[in-house]
Amino acid sequence: EPLLLIGRDKEQECILNTAIEQNNSFLAAQMFIFGCVEAYIYGDYELAVNFVQKRHELGRKITYKRGYYGMTDFFDGLSFLAMAHQSSDQKWILSANESISNIDHFAKVSPSNCEHKLLLLQAEMKSITGETEEAISKYELAISAAERNEFIHEQAIANERAAEFFLRNGDSSRAAHHYGEAQSLFLKWGAQMKVDDLLMSIAL
């Protein structure tokens, strides 16, 4: 699996505890970053935003290390938007807008790394605000950009998000298509556990 599986793996939990005990903020932040990614991918959105909060407590400057090129803002934003789908609390929208603004900056600096990230966040926001046609366009653009820039796992995520959008809007045919694409891409990425999770949870 290309994921840390933090929270399921005792070794990873031990590393995190050691990092905290030794005041190794950078290592702890990395664990929180990849913990958020894993939690989001597996649909545990409350855990994902908890990891975001814990990372921010270490200091926001760690979030914007050049090597991540917007990855933290991308998964932060996706996690906030997932919570916004479940809650009317406006704090999730406000936090998501901050992430989108940051990603917009990264997309200007490094479009090949961040164009699809920005498009997917915009699609999710359009979905929440009820702008259906705009959301569909953004999902398709995000999927195409992720494919063009060879971000297999993020192309998979974009397909899964599009599938859930179509399912919420009563289009089971297009939902099934995008779920199928997501499964194929996650499998290509090497995430068999995620494929199995999708097969068990898809409501079609």
Handedness of CA 165, 169, 175, 178 (dihedral sign): negative
Neighbours of 166 (CB within 10 A): 21
Q: Are 95 and 80 in contact (CB under 8 A)?
A: yes
* CATH superfamily label, 10-201: Tetratricopeptide repeat domain (1.25.40.10)
Handedness of CA 109, 113, 114, 116 (dihedral sign): positive
Q: Which residues pair with 6 in a beta bridge?
A: 9
Q: What is the pTM of this model?
A: 0.88
From first to last of its 204 residues, what are the pLDDT tens digits of the chain?
A: 444 444 455 666 676 667 666 777 777 788 888 889 999 999 999 999 999 998 888 775 555 455 566 899 999 999 999 999 999 899 999 999 999 999 999 999 999 999 999 999 999 999 999 999 999 999 999 999 999 999 999 999 999 999 999 999 999 999 999 999 999 999 999 999 999 999 998 866
